[in-house]
A = this chain, B = another copy of it.
Amino acid sequence: MISRQPLRDQIYQEVLALIYRGELPPGSRVRDTTMAAQLGVSRTPVREALLRLAREGTLEADMGRGFSVPVLRPEEMREIGQILAALECLALELSAEIPADRLLRLREIDRELAALRGDVDRSVELDEEWHRTLLSGCPNTRLRAMITNLWQVPSRYMRAYLRDAGRVTLSTQHHASILEALRRNDRVTAGERFQHHWHRGIEELGAWIAR
């Protein structure tokens, strides 16, 4: 079965990648006509992609003034962080006991993450994959999709932070302590540690943005 994806979805991915890679830095305007020319498509699917990104918080849309990459605000990161912490905890609660092979896979990702030095994009990707893997057993499809979508905001913040601060030590020790609780199937403790993990991350990013 071959899959035909609408242009808007491919463009969506492409623009997201551009923002993630640091081209299109915060504050820069995104002109649909320019983007269309750059990607070799027309404005219509580009605008559809940009409108979606705007609704998801990765872009800003001012009436009559088009789209721009929003500047990083500690507030925004805090708000999204609170939401994601709650939703990921919920997803964990709704999941059945995490099977051993998945716990193994999670440890493996952490190892790879710890071994990385300097590759910002790969680091954040691995962190995201860790969370996705952890919650992959949650039967609430809609919830999983929402979490994946919301992640693009922290993703943006983390990439900017790591790139700027040079610090590529994503807190794998937090991950480890969460896994430890899960290995005992102690969901309550795991949830608490999850919350703690998020709050620490928010604080760290907030302090950095405040400069």
Q: Which residues of B contact A47 (CB under 8 A)?
A: 48
Q: Give residues of chain A (41-71) contacting chain B, Cβ–Cβ below 8 Å.
A: 44, 47-48, 51-52, 55, 57, 63-64
> Is residue A34 within 8 Å, beta carbon to beta carbon, of the partner chain?
no
Cα-based distance from A89 to B141 in the complex (angstroms): 21
| Nearest CB in chain B to that of A57: its residue | B142
Copies in the complex: 2
Q: Which residues of B contact A57 (CB under 8 A)?
A: 142
| A90–B94 touching, CB < 8 Å | no
Q: Which residues of B contact A63 (CB under 8 A)?
A: 4-6
Of B55, B76, B143, the residue contacting A83 (CB under 8 A) is: B143
Query: Can you list 13 A-B pairs with a CB-CB distance of less than 8 A?
Result: A8-B51, A48-B48, A48-B51, A55-B55, A57-B142, A79-B142, A79-B143, A80-B142, A82-B90, A83-B90, A83-B143, A86-B87, A86-B89
Known: A48-B51, A52-B52, A57-B142. 18 other contacts (CB 8 A): A4-B64, A6-B63, A44-B44, A52-B55, A55-B55, A76-B142, A79-B142, A79-B143, A80-B142, A82-B90, A82-B140, A83-B87, A83-B90, A83-B140, A86-B87, A86-B89, A86-B90, A87-B87
